[in-house]
Amino acid sequence: MKNWRESYKAKVCTPDEAIQKIKNAKRISFGHICSESTVLTEALLRNKKLFKKLEIAHLLSLGKSEYAREENSEYFRHNALFIGPKTREAANSSYGDYTPTFFFETAKLFEKDGELALDAMLLQVSSPDEHGYCSYGLSCDYTKSATENAKIVIAQINKFVPRTFGNCFIHIDDIDYIIEEDTPIPEVQPPVVGEVEKKIGEFCASLIKDGDTLQLGIGAIPVAVLNFLKDKKDLGIHSEMISDGIVDLINLGVITNKKKNLNPNKSIATFLMGSKKLYDYANNNPAIELHPVDYVNNPIIIAQNDNMVSINSAIQIDLMGQVNAEYVNSKQFSGAGGQVDFVRGATMSKGGKSIIALPSTTAKGTISRIVFTFDEGVPVTTSRNDVDYIVTEYGIAHLRGKTLRERAKLLIEIAHPNFREELRKKALEKFGTL
């Protein structure tokens, strides 16, 4: 039998040597979020003159994202499938791009015959076990598919990457070049929860019953929701991400996963994002499993969880119930991400609910997030046909099965009081009566 330790030694090189191996690449990708190897990204920048308009296709990055800056546009072209703060300018410019996609379909895009087939994949993984298997550790999502299908795989072996379980492993034999460097994992501290978020969190928590399985998105509202679940029993997790707050509820005995009919006794996710507390908890813990995004976020799989409740955020909602969760001031702000994946999966679930939660205003209360209609050019993230519950700090609007008039009336009732009269006037002009 082949000795993986011998082949391991032969693959070890410096970051700059590894980048030299992909100088003819036309399209590459990085590990998602915390699986991005900043060691390799920095080497890519140091050797940028090897490339001409190298396409870098990926989702969210916690790194510096210098490849997406205008001064590097001669060498790199960033193609964002989800936009973060440091790639937003590029994605909305002439020197970058944005590709609309549902999160669960990103794995398919990176397959060998996919629309975004890769010449190379750069990522970081855990130290190998005695059998030569490394864990993807922090992000399985599209990272696994991209790695398995790329022509060249360059991996940083990093002892700080947790060894997570699930369908989340790669063998040393499937890595072409190895970088041995131990660098701390980026930490994302929980956001500050204000009074508005607390009220929204309390309303959302009121829709959650003992034994429900939850999906929670990113931001202050999901954190606020978790704070109001401490009196619940036997909750489960099937979510694209796991954060520090979920660890707290596991430790309190609130999340047990005992009532789940799919993957019982396990919290299922496709990536981790939080602090060292989360990473340490997930390390070698069989109660948490990471699986590829085309499993975790697949609406058909999500729907197999009975009593599935998804909670996601939005930027705007119009009076028909259409949701904009990705567009601000005529520019792409983020992306669809996994919102629609879970909206559809949860509403197909037996006893399931989909919740879209948002503050009623923005810009210090001067702009209503509930609007009569979207501005020209604003994309619809979640359609009016998919929407279920809408929550603001003023209450809950259950839109599923409601007429357009009923929806308008319910949404006006949970809009900020300063904007209700104007919204009601426009709705009456359209419908005649409410």
Residues classed as catalytic:
240
Structure-block tokens of residue 60: 């969210």
CA–CA separation, 98 and 110 (whole Å): 15
Look at strands 361-362 and 331-332 and give their pairing. unpaired
| Structure-block tokens of residue 319 | 């009076």
Handedness of CA 324, 327, 332, 334 (dihedral sign): negative
Identify the CA nearest to 282 among candidates 361, 201, 166, 173: 166
Q: Give the Å distances, CA to CA, from 170 to 1, 2, 124, 353.
A: 18, 16, 11, 35
Q: Tell me if 111 sits within 8 A of 118, measured CB to CB.
A: no
Q: Provide the terminal-to-terminal Cα distance of the chain, rounded to the nearest Å.
A: 75
Q: At 331, list the tokens.
A: 């520019």
Which residues have C-beta within 8 Å of that of residue 150, sequence separation ≥ 6?
A: 28, 29, 110, 118, 119, 120, 121
Which element (helix H / strand E) includes 292?
none
Which residues on neighbouring strands pair with residue 216, listed in sequence order? 311
User: How far apart are the C-alpha atoms of 118 and 101, rounded to whole Å?
Assistant: 17
- Give me the helix-helix angle, 220-227 and 244-251, nearest 10°: 10
Please name which of 268, 267, 273, 289 lies closest in space to residue 34, comparing C-alpha atoms: 273
Backbone angles phi, psi at 79, to 5 degrees: -115, 105
